[in-house]
Amino acid sequence: MTTLTIKTIGTVCQGVAKEHTPNISAISMVGDEQFTFCEMCEQNIERWYDDSDDERLPMWRDWKVSK
């Protein structure tokens, strides 16, 4: 029987990004949104503060690539 082993090194951001690594020193805030760039893939990323659901605690959303 043959087994397949998949190794990942660090965070893969391009294509199927699961997690971005924001540059903390370059975060800028506009209202309830934050903007910066990812240290791994160097794309512009953003996140927003979500407090729209009364049944969940307010929190920052995950970083996503800006359009």
Coil, strand, or helix at residue 26? helix
Q: What is the structure's pLDDT at 8?
A: 37
Q: What is the structure's pLDDT at 31?
A: 92
Q: What is the pTM of this model?
A: 0.67
Q: What is the structure's pLDDT at 26?
A: 93
């659901």: which residue's tokens?
53
The full set of domain ranges for the chain reads 24-65
> What are phi and psi for residue 45, nearest 5 degrees?
-130, 160
Contact 45, 31 (CB under 8 A): no
Q: What is the structure's pLDDT at 33?
A: 94
Write out pLDDT tens, residues 3-60.
544 333 344 555 554 688 899 999 999 999 999 999 988 899 999 999 888 888 999 9
